[in-house]
Amino acid sequence: MDNTQSRTTSADALVIFGVTGDLAHKMIFPALYAMAKRGTLTLPVIGVAGSSLSPAQLRKRATESIRQKGKIEDRAALDHLLSSLQYVGGDYNAPATFDALKQALGDARRPAHYLAIPPTLFETVINGLGAAGLADQARVIVEKPFGRDLASARELNRVALSVFAEDAIFRIDHYLGKEAIMNILYFRFANSFLEPIWNRDHVASVQITLAEDFGVKDRGTFYESAGCLRDVIQNHLFQIVALLAMEPPAYQGFGAVHSEKAKVFQAMRPLRPDDVVRGQYAGYRKEPGVAKNSDVETYCALRMFIDSWRWEGVPWYLRSGKCMATTAGEVLVELKPPPQRLFDDSAPVDGRANYLRFRLSPNSAVALAARVKRAGKEFVGDQRELYLLDGQIGEETPYERLLSDAMAGDGALFTREDAVEAAWAVVDPVLTDHTKAHRYEPGGWGPKQADALIAPHGCWHNPAPGKTAK
């Protein structure tokens, strides 16, 4: 099969499978509206779902979705989006549904098929597209989770690659579309001062925290099938690790970035049970869709190592959880203290030496902590942060950016087959071989057992809810 055009030409139609679902309502319609406001939505949008829906009902759902995100300030953009919408209803197992889709596509020959559907339906829809001849010159956008373990990821890759070429498969992780995540890659390789210290000789440890102050809400059934390790750490946090740990790409191009990220996953030491602490917030078992005796983790902390020349021996500590003290995401790269203590007060403050901090959410920032002398004759000082970057007005939302890139055929912010499988290989040993989840109270920082995990290298850095953190 020749997918050359899918690699070099923009899509001429967007097909959204699962257009009546939660993801489309919360994320995709607002992203399409934002694209319409920028003037970048220039192709028909065809929604596909199993329910019977009129075009007017679909337009109403889209309008309600956009209104829930805020005031509709550009009526012309909304009208443009609504006029672009079409709908095809039918069973994903029925060839007639794909025949109706082919008819709705009309003259479009390079559609982008977005699978905003449960993972159990991925194979059905991909095979249906192939059988209907709707995959030639097309591309497919697959929502995470891409598999639930190494075996299922390999099987899903096999199915997808039997219909689409690798560079026509866009495995979407919305976290990679965040401005703050993209800035990690830029900051690392656009600044020459960082490279000499970005290695095992100068870095003591790396921490990544992604915390949410709310529970599973109405996603109890989904969380029972996933858990925090699968839902957040294996994809979102591992992607951040890869950007922080990768070697400089050999050339300017997303293929080089993908290759270096894959090498990081391949160098990660497979996890063991004593590398992982699992937690479950008090009250989780009372959530709708949750089993009364559930042992699914809503919190996960882990210690990992990357067996590479650059990072040998440096511990990486990752944690994520629900019902935490705040909603925030941060990276803390702690540097080793100076080799000689020339000043009495120059020991690490509260166990913390100089560090580089990436604030990922809710606002974006980069900060460098360094000691500064106080005024006077005494050689004493304080550790303070030099604040380097704040969030910028006019940022694209992650889904707006990723949808635009996928339709343009730009795979820079998507995940490659080898990287997906290598990441699953790291967590596969502990998906079932682990200790029971420890109970923790909402509003804190998870179970105390996670403190013992990091104790040999200090303590957790708890992100503050405001702009800066101490």
Which residues carry out catalysis? 236
CA distances from 145 to 289, 349, 460 (A): 19, 40, 28
Non-local CB neighbours of 265 within 8 Å, separated by 6+ positions: 238, 242, 419, 422, 423, 425, 426
Conformation bin of residue 137: beta by default, left when phi > 0, alpha when psi is -120 to 50? left
CA distance 366 to 388: 5
Q: Residue 48: in which H helix or E strand, if any?
A: strand 45-49
CA distance 107 to 174: 30
CA distance 434 to 411: 35
CA distances from 125 to 79, 121, 148, 156, 271 (A): 30, 6, 18, 12, 34
Q: How many CA atoms lie within 13 A of 146 on its CB side?
A: 30
Amino acid residing at 116:
A
φ, ψ (nearest 5 deg) of residue 183 = -70, -25
| Helix 238-245 and helix 254-267, axial crossing angle in degrees, nearest 10 | 110
Q: How many CA atoms lie within 13 A of 392 on its CB side?
A: 11
* R_g of the chain computed on alpha carbons: 24
Q: Quick check: helix, strand or coil at residue 458?
A: coil
